[in-house]
């Protein structure tokens, strides 16, 4: 199988082999003008497995594979298999605990995701939910930054975060979004079935997602800097949930 590193597979036959194998794939890039029968087979496999794909110019692939023979297609391999939201809820039930879930809205920095996976493991949360598009996925950089936590934390990748929130609320979860202008996080009640939502590094939580949160909570800021790194803010939020679960069993 043609590889540049542990994350990229290129060439038509190697990519088809990868897709048929059922191994986790983050995304596939294809040259837009290529409409061969082989590409049709690849598109069918992508749609069957619901894997995100994007049409790009040939120069993009030339740059990514240093002009090696990519045959107009490249796949990003995930560092591990993705879970389903149901798997996360099942883990909470297995532990006989209220669900404790982190939802990330369009986090793009792999170091932030890796650091958050490490914290999720540390606080004993049951899993992480990320969107399939406009978000970093489980790359090698994420795995390395997580210091091994990627092997233990369930990560579900969904098509629609808003619909997922609605489904979780029907299952009894309370959704707390972390953003400026909300109630003080250290006085909020974060016990019970809980989803913590952290927004992207630049834009925060998207409007529709924010509107579907049950509450917005904020971290106190005493200094001149007006915001925190997403992984730092998320980690503080997660530890506050753990603290409250510890002192309010």
Q: For residue 204, list its beta bridge partners.
A: 200
Pairing of strands 155-158, 127-131: parallel
Beta-carbon contacts of 191 under 8 Å, excluding residues fewer than 6 positions away, are 98, 244, 245, 248
Structural domains of the chain, ranges and CATH numbers in brackets: 8-77 (3.30.1330.30), 85-247 (3.40.1280.10)
Tens of pLDDT along the chain (249 residues) come to: 444 444 788 888 888 888 888 888 888 998 876 566 677 888 888 888 888 888 888 888 888 887 667 888 889 888 888 999 999 999 999 999 999 999 999 898 989 999 999 999 999 999 999 998 888 888 888 888 898 899 999 999 999 999 999 999 999 999 999 988 888 899 999 999 999 999 987 788 999 999 999 999 988 888 777 677 899 999 999 999 999 999 755
Burial 207-235 (b: 16+ CB within 10 A, else e): eebbebbeebbbbeeeeeeeeeebbebbb
Q: Are 116 and 2 in contact (CB under 8 A)?
A: no
């Amino acid at each position: 199988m043609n590889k540049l590193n542990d994350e990229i597979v290129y060439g038509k036959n190697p990519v088809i082999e990868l897709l048929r194998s059922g191994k986790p794939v983050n995304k596939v890039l294809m040259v837009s003008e290529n409409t061969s029968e082989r590409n049709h087979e690849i598109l069918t496999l992508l749609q069957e497995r619901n894997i995100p794909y994007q049409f790009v110019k040939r120069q993009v692939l030339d740059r990514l594979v240093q002009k090696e023979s990519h045959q107009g297609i490249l796949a990003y391999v995930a560092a591990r298999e993705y879970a389903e939201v149901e798997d996360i809820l099942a883990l909470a039930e297995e532990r006989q605990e209220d669900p404790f879930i982190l939802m990330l809205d369009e986090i793009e920095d792999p170091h932030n995701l890796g650091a958050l996976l490490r914290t999720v493991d540390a606080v004993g949360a049951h899993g992480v939910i990320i969107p399939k598009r406009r978000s970093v996925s489980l790359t090698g950089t994420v795995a390395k930054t997580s210091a091994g936590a990627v092997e233990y934390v369930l990560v579900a990748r969904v098509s629609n975060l808003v619909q997922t929130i609605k489904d979780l609320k029907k299952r009894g979860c309370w959704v707390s979004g972390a953003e400026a202008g909300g109630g003080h996080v250290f006085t909020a009640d974060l016990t019970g079935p809980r989803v913590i939502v952290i927004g992207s590094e630049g834009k925060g939580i998207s409007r529709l997602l924010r509107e579907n949160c049950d509450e917005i909570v904020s971290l106190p800021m005493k200094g001149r800097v007006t915001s925190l790194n997403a992984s730092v803010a998320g980690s503080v939020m997660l530890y506050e949930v753990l603290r409250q679960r510890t002192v309010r069993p």
